[in-house]
Amino acid sequence: MPQQNVQTKVLRTICPDAKGLIAKITNICYKHELNIVQNNEFVDHRTGRFFMRTELEGIFNDNTLLADLDSALPKGSVRELQSTGRRRIVVLVTKEAHCLGDLLMKSAYGGLDVEIAAVIGNHDTLQTLVERFDIPFHLVSHDGLTREQHDSAMIEQIDQYQPDYVVLAKYMRVLTPGFVQHYPHQVINIHHSFLPAFIGARPYHQAYERGVKIIGATAHYVNDSLDEGPIIMQDVINVDHTYTAEDMMRAGRDVEKNVLSRALYRVLTQRVFVYGNRTVIL
């Protein structure tokens, strides 16, 4: 009986805080004879919200487990139970290779437990690189299309791969609200600045003009407002007066790819909870 195999799954709970929540949830896991491999929780006392990530091992009966949880948790609770393991992504690109290259390397040689189902570009610059790794590349040019038409064409290509997440690896186009809503909490972007500084175009040139001594990058979920979604991860490096905007750009590429890949690692291991415009990472 295959359902009797020992499996590992992650239970994620978001609900209004209340006395006894951890006891209730862990009691149910105990009753189901599931072993808690790892458990993390957080209470946001400002909003009275409870977050819990429970990594469980055992023989699962998903339906009765979730039913038991539903009857124990307060109204307004959200809980998900998902198997661990390899996730599937589609990567969107324009012309820059560094973030894509890092994802291709880590998918093929370790570092991210992810299958890159396809790469889609609005230019064909990176086609050769993608095909070197035996992954399908699709060109969806925006030439002559409205933004809405182009995003629809992108969605069509993406959806044939049924990805868990859509990763913008230096995809230099603003997405329409329709696109964003089509993939709720599934679109992850790398922004080449330390948000919220230097929102908008050419952040390295802005950074140079302002004479900052540190530059950075930000991985975030995409929501309707450009450059404004919940931040997952940020990192920085020092620069000095000898850096031109081009030097900042070159040095920043390593930060961008590292931040994107580290953010994705946490998303893929189901550690990132979104609540309002913030993330809780357990």
Active site residues: 227
Q: Which residues pair with 39 in a beta bridge?
A: 54
d(CA 199, CA 207): 11
Site stretch for a second copy (CB under 8 A), options 4-12, 59-67, 180-188, 209-217: 209-217
Our CA dihedral for 119, 124, 128, 133, rounded to 10 degrees, sits at 0
Q: How far is the CB of 50 from a second copy (least distance, A)?
A: 10
Q: The tokens of 69 are what?
A: 């949880």
Candidates 53, 68, 102, 107; binder of a second copy (CB under 8 A) is 102
Give the three-class secondary structure for 148.
helix
188, 222 contact by CB (below 8 A):
yes
Please give the angle made by the CA atoms of 88, 280 and 172, to the nearest 5 degrees: 50
Candidates 216, 260, 267, 268; binder of a second copy (CB under 8 A) is 216
Query: Nearer Cβ to a second copy, position 164 or 235?
Result: 235
Q: How far is the CB of 206 from a second copy (least distance, A)?
A: 8
Candidates 73, 212, 222, 264; binder of a second copy (CB under 8 A) is 212
Taking CB under 8 A as the rule, which mask of x and - marks residues 145-184 in contact with a second copy? ----------------------------------------
Candidates 5, 45, 76, 143; binder of a second copy (CB under 8 A) is 45
103, 43 contact by CB (below 8 A):
no
Cα radius of gyration rounded to whole Å, the chain: 21
Query: Nearer Cβ to a second copy, position 160 or 213?
Result: 213
Least Cα distance to 60 among 100, 25, 11, 23 occurs for: 11
74, 19 contact by CB (below 8 A):
no
User: Of how many residues is the chain composed?
Assistant: 282
196 contributes a contact to a second copy by CB under 8 A: yes
What residues make contact with a second copy under the rule CB under 8 A?
Answer: 19-23, 26-27, 29-30, 33, 35-46, 97-98, 101-102, 105, 108-111, 129, 132-133, 194-198, 209-214, 216, 230-236, 238, 240-242, 244, 250, 253-254, 258, 261-262, 277-281
